[in-house]
Amino acid sequence: MKYIFFLAFIFLMMPLLQAQNVGIGTIDPKAKLDINGDLILESKELVIPDGTIYQLDVNTNKFNNYKLTGPTSNFQIAGIAAAEHNRTVALYNRTGVSLEVYNDDINTLPQDRILTGTGGTFAVYNGGNVVLKYDTLIAKWEIISGHYTSLDYFGSAAGEWSPNANDIYNINSGNVGIGTSTPTAKLTVNGNLALMSDTIRVTCGFAYSFIIIDNLVKNKSILHFVNEGCGVSYTPPVIAGLSGGADGKIVTLVSHVEGMEIKHLQGLTIMPSSADSLNMIELYEPNNNGSINQPYSYLLNNGGSITLIYDVTRHRWKPLSLHGEVKTEIIGWNRGGNPNNIYNPNAGNVGIGTGSPGEKLDVAGNAKVRSNLFVDGNVGVNIVPSEKLDVNGNAKVRKNLTVEGNGVSSASLTVQRGTGIDGTAAFLGTGFHSYFNQGMAEYTYIRGGKIDSKVVLNDQGGQVLIGSVGGANAQLFVSGYQVGVNASGINVQQNITNNGQSSYGLKSYVNGSTDYNFGIFSEVGGSGGHNYAGVFTANQSSTGFENYAIYASASGSQDPKAGVFIGDVYVQGNLSKSSGSFLIDHPQDPANKYLYHSFVESPDMMNIYNGNIITNTEGEATVQLPDYFFTLNKDFRYQLTVMGQFAQAIIFEEINNSNQFKIKTDKPNVKVSWQVTGVRQDAWANAHRIVPEVEKEERNKGKYLAPEVFGKPLEMGIHYVKPPTENK
């Protein structure tokens, strides 16, 4: 019976097996499968993880349509499990983020790879789909159609291109390469780059022709300037501005005329409107005083060029490069009728070597006159002159000098009687020793002719008074009434040329039994803006190796201190010390005790911030640090301590650009003590980073900063200075 049933089944199936086409709902099928009616293809939801999928499984549950869900950020499919020939699947992106299909990814098994047909990564936006077919001849999947897709990536997932109307843009933080897979700049092009250019014809004229170039609509990268057959009898154009500026935009101006001029900051004097002032060319930025450091314009010869970049912060075009410059013409200087002459028509001053000239011509530096110098007026040296020749300071005449008063003299130097002069004031005598002539001179000049020359003003122990007929209880009393810059009551200068071991510009020694002995007592007062009781500057020679503006030491058994400062102390530079502490009157017994605390120190330039905070009902708390914290510090470290109960606390979010971090506890309303440290990264710290361990200088090896603590004599100290032995 079973055998008969089997034969009957074969008999009924034979027409179907032999048929060319199959029809469902039709007796006349036109294709292998012809369906007259609706066709419903069921879909399968695939929940996939974030990240990159190298083998999407479409074989365990075979469907034609797959709905993708699951990822929370842009995800990637680099491969699909291999299938039979011509197997077609459709992937519908319903994740809410973008799907990125990698092209022929090298990290995927060869038989599972996908060919996007574009040579780059294929993006399927949320709501879009992509249809793929498997080709066993090449053993790869191929994309045959897609909806709501875009070629978003080139070669890898290094950056995303997004549409904006007819434009596309890239918001990733990396680089873009064209013709290269290893770009080294924001845009790296391996191959030729064609920049669009335009030609501007300038009119012939015989006066300066200021031009504001309209490049807003043209939007060209290169602009060529030619004339209209003017020949050489015309004034070249002056380029005063360039429209169409955008941040970072670069434009090159090429001159095909002789002497085309690029003008610096022409301003509203020629600009038609205030808006045009945003198109000006700024060859140099102002200095701190608001004046221009080098206010030049550029003159280009035939074939010369200048490349400009737009600075949106200053709303100015700035030069990048210059080629074919004829010469620079200083703003404010005009060319005269003779091409070799220039003149300044301004009412201000001219400075050479200085940006703030105080006179019509102010030269900061040496000047040389190679021919005669004619002065129609007075000449002053270091002073505004009140006479034909007025010298404020030393003067040297290397040959004979005749000073004529009321008579005539043939001597090398003759001071004749006249107004304010009564006899010879001073002279250098025989043997080059100094002598004082007891004349009634208004000015007395005393000079030692030899190193061992001495000038004795008073050898009887009485007072020496300068500038006053009566003074305080002092052996030498100087009352100064000098005015002007750097006025001094006493100016001491000591020049050593005999290789001496020690030299003192000013030496003071006081020995007495009084309560207070001062080697030097300085007091300053007055209504000036800056009052300094002492200014010390050490100017080191090229062969010296120690340079101290102030060197202070103290010894003895009665609490020696090298320095005591009453008031604030500011140090610009590193402060190095053996140890440090604060010293105050003891808060519990201020009349009888001191209180010391040591400084907190580290090998880093560390800042410490701390405080207490209570978490909210969610166990969270946000700590607000100072506004400058993120800019000032780097390398952050955290410490948390829970107070009042047993609880766990963590740094939930680290410090961000808003100078905040978050603390989270496993319980609500927990009091937490926090501490944050950071290493300084300000400009001074970066320029003067402290190195914890360094080798001593070669001259200081074998010496000690504190030799006495190592049982060594004081003479082995690095900063040891031999006490003076000269007479006191």
Query: What's the per-residue H, E or C state across 534-594?
Result: CCCCCCCCCCCCCCCCCCCCCCCCCCCCCCCCCCCCCCCCCCCCCCCEEEEECCCCCCCCE
What is the CATH number for 133? 2.60.120
Task: Please say if the pLDDT value at position 659 is more than 60.
Answer: yes
For 693-717, the pLDDT digits (tens) are: 999 889 889 989 889 889 999 889 8
**Other CB atoms within 10 Å distance of the CB of residue 200:** 19
Kindly state the DSSP code that residue 386 receives in the 8-state scheme.
S
- In this prediction, residue 387 carries a pLDDT of 77
Rounded Cα distance between 593 and 595, Å, is 7
- In this prediction, residue 647 carries a pLDDT of 95
Task: Please say if the pLDDT value at position 326 is more than 70.
Answer: no
- In this prediction, residue 711 carries a pLDDT of 93
Beta pairing, strands 633-643 & 594-598: unpaired
Rounded Cα distance between 562 and 575, Å, is 15
Rounded Cα distance between 319 and 328, Å, is 14
Question: From start to end of 615-691, where are the E strands?
Answer: 620-624, 633-643, 649-653, 660-665, 671-680
The answer to whether 143 and 128 have CB atoms below 8 angstroms apart is no
Which H helix or E strand runs over 75? strand 75-77
Report the phi/psi class of residue 229: left, alpha or beta, with left for phi > 0 and alpha for psi in -120 to 50.
Answer: left
Residue 673 is assigned to a structural domain of this protein = yes
Tokens 């766990």 identify what position?
648
The backbone torsions φ and ψ at residue 153, rounded to the nearest 5 degrees and listed phi first, read -130, 155
Task: Please say if the pLDDT value at position 390 is more than 70.
Answer: yes
The backbone torsions φ and ψ at residue 699, rounded to the nearest 5 degrees and listed phi first, read -70, -20
- In this prediction, residue 607 carries a pLDDT of 92
The answer to whether 638 and 675 have CB atoms below 8 angstroms apart is yes
- In this prediction, residue 532 carries a pLDDT of 67
Task: Please say if the pLDDT value at position 159 is more than 50.
Answer: no
Give the closest residue to 245 by CA, choosing from 278, 282, 271: 278
Residue 516 is assigned to a structural domain of this protein = no
Rounded Cα distance between 157 and 724, Å, is 76
Structure tokens belonging to residue 673: 């003590």
Judgement on whether residues 644 and 716 belong to the same structural domain of the protein: no
- In this prediction, residue 146 carries a pLDDT of 83
Structure tokens belonging to residue 622: 């946000």
- In this prediction, residue 441 carries a pLDDT of 41
For 494-535, the pLDDT digits (tens) are: 665 545 556 666 666 666 666 666 667 677 766 666 666 667
The answer to whether 251 and 220 have CB atoms below 8 angstroms apart is yes
Task: Please say if the pLDDT value at position 545 is more than 60.
Answer: yes
- In this prediction, residue 471 carries a pLDDT of 60
Kindly state the DSSP code that residue 56 receives in the 8-state scheme.
B
Taking every pair of C-alpha atoms in the chain, what is the biggest distance, in angstroms? Answer: 166
For 39-92, the pLDDT digits (tens) are: 677 888 999 999 989 889 998 888 889 999 999 999 999 999 988 988 999 999
Judgement on whether residues 141 and 217 belong to the same structural domain of the protein: no
Judgement on whether residues 255 and 288 belong to the same structural domain of the protein: yes
Last residue of a domain, one of 424, 455, 486: 455
- In this prediction, residue 641 carries a pLDDT of 97
Q: Is 543 exposed, middle or buried (0-12, 13-18, 19+ CB in 10 A)?
A: exposed
**Using 50, 70 and 90 to split pLDDT, how confident is the model at 617?**
very high
**Using 50, 70 and 90 to split pLDDT, how confident is the model at 9?**
very low
- In this prediction, residue 518 carries a pLDDT of 66
The backbone torsions φ and ψ at residue 15, rounded to the nearest 5 degrees and listed phi first, read -65, -35
Rounded Cα distance between 200 and 196, Å, is 14
Last residue of a domain, one of 331, 348, 373: 331
- In this prediction, residue 422 carries a pLDDT of 38
Domain count, the chain: 6
HSE-CB of 600 using CA atoms within 13 angstroms: 5
Q: Is 278 exposed, middle or buried (0-12, 13-18, 19+ CB in 10 A)?
A: middle
Residue 353 is assigned to a structural domain of this protein = no
Residue 572 is assigned to a structural domain of this protein = no
Judgement on whether residues 255 and 282 belong to the same structural domain of the protein: yes
Residue 191 is assigned to a structural domain of this protein = no
The answer to whether 296 and 264 have CB atoms below 8 angstroms apart is yes
- In this prediction, residue 132 carries a pLDDT of 92
- In this prediction, residue 548 carries a pLDDT of 67
Tokens 């140890």 identify what position?
579
Tokens 């089944």 identify what position?
9
Judgement on whether residues 9 and 60 belong to the same structural domain of the protein: no
More confident residue, 588 or 557: 588
More confident residue, 391 or 414: 391
- Which residues, 6 or more positions from 446, have their beta carbon under 8 angstroms from its beta carbon? 426, 434, 436, 455
Rounded Cα distance between 200 and 254, Å, is 10
Residue 593 is assigned to a structural domain of this protein = no
Judgement on whether residues 54 and 8 belong to the same structural domain of the protein: no
Look at 48-52, 99-103, 441-445, 680-684 and tell me which has the smallest mean pLDDT.
441-445
Q: What range defines the domain where residue 290 resides?
A: 197-331
Residue 423 is assigned to a structural domain of this protein = yes
For 414-456, the pLDDT digits (tens) are: 444 344 433 333 333 334 333 344 444 444 444 444 455 555 5
Structure tokens belonging to residue 59: 């074989």
Rounded Cα distance between 119 and 154, Å, is 8
Last residue of a domain, one of 310, 331, 352: 331
Distance of CA 2 to CAs 8, 9, 220, 378, 497, Å? 10, 11, 88, 142, 135
Give the closest residue to 716 by CA, choosing from 728, 708, 726, 724: 708
CB neighbour burial string for 685-709, b if at least 16 within 10 angstroms, e if fewer? beeeeeeeeeeeeeeeeebbeebee
- In this prediction, residue 432 carries a pLDDT of 37
The backbone torsions φ and ψ at residue 14, rounded to the nearest 5 degrees and listed phi first, read -60, -40
- Which residues, 6 or more positions from 76, have their beta carbon under 8 angstroms from its beta carbon? 51, 52, 53, 99, 100, 101, 102, 157
Judgement on whether residues 55 and 143 belong to the same structural domain of the protein: yes
Q: Is the four-CA dihedral 262, 265, 269, 270 of positive or negative sign?
A: positive
Summary mean pLDDT of the chain = 74
The answer to whether 323 and 304 have CB atoms below 8 angstroms apart is yes
Judgement on whether residues 94 and 138 belong to the same structural domain of the protein: yes
Listed ranges 162-176, 240-254, 439-453, 675-689; the one with the highest mean pLDDT: 675-689
The answer to whether 281 and 267 have CB atoms below 8 angstroms apart is no
Structure tokens belonging to residue 640: 């948390």
Judgement on whether residues 10 and 53 belong to the same structural domain of the protein: no
Judgement on whether residues 116 and 23 belong to the same structural domain of the protein: no
More confident residue, 450 or 690: 690
Judgement on whether residues 408 and 305 belong to the same structural domain of the protein: no
Residue 683 is assigned to a structural domain of this protein = yes
The answer to whether 436 and 418 have CB atoms below 8 angstroms apart is no
- Taking residues 23-34, report their average pLDDT: 75
Give the closest residue to 157 by CA, choosing from 217, 105, 196: 105
Judgement on whether residues 133 and 150 belong to the same structural domain of the protein: yes
For 126-140, the pLDDT digits (tens) are: 888 999 999 999 999
Strand pairing partners for 223?
A: 198, 253
- Taking residues 356-376, report their average pLDDT: 81
Rounded Cα distance between 60 and 307, Å, is 63
Q: Is the four-CA dihedral 369, 372, 375, 381 of positive or negative sign?
A: positive
- In this prediction, residue 148 carries a pLDDT of 75
Which H helix or E strand runs over 3? helix 2-18
For 164-201, the pLDDT digits (tens) are: 555 666 666 677 777 777 777 777 777 666 666 777 77
- Taking residues 344-366, report their average pLDDT: 77
HSE-CB of 728 using CA atoms within 13 angstroms: 8
